[in-house]
Amino acid sequence: EVQLVQSGGGLIQPGGSLRLSCAASGFTFSIYDMNWVRQAPGKGLEWVSYISSSSTMMYYADSVKGRFTISRDNAKKSLYLQMDNLRAEDTAVYYCARSLGGSDYWGQGTLVTVSS
């Protein structure tokens, strides 16, 4: 069974840093591209970042470019999102998702709240 299990969310002050993790199981993680997608409270979906299977390509939404860093460890079957210089507008549920055509499997989501 394909599973993506997320961890690392929480309450953080503006300007702070947080690292989200996404542990994969049930499939060959190393051959799949991955995405992070977020959803602010009561709002729609916003694509955040993409990483190719071998980490050769990484893309970011303009809203997070220069502040967020996507990475992966294929040996540990894990995806990460390092979030620095967090702002109130980064408050959202963050999802990791496997990329195949569309995003066919999603993590359970983790809430990040940026507030003083």
DSSP 31: G
CB nearer to other proteins: pick between 64 and 86: 64
Residues 23-52 that bind other proteins (CB under 8 A): 35, 37, 44-47, 50
Residues constituting the chain: 116
Stretch in the footprint of other proteins (CB under 8 A) among 10-18, 23-31, 72-80, 103-111: 103-111
Residue 109 touching other proteins (CB under 8 A): yes
Q: Cβ 114 to other proteins, closest distance in Å? A: 21
Amino acid symbol at 84: D
CB nearer to other proteins: pick between 20 and 97: 97
CB nearer to other proteins: pick between 29 and 50: 50
Collect all residues with Cβ–Cβ distance below 8 Å to 77 and sequence separation of at least 6: 23, 24, 25, 29, 30
Q: What are 45's two structure tokens? A: 């979906």
Residue 49: strand pairing partners = 36, 60
Stretch in the footprint of other proteins (CB under 8 A) among 8-16, 23-31, 83-91, 95-103: 95-103
Can you tell me the distance from the alpha carbon of 67 to that of 110, in angstroms, rounded to the nearest whole number?
Answer: 19
Residue 66: strand pairing partners = none
| Binding-site member from 11, 17, 54, 59 for other proteins (CB under 8 A) | 59
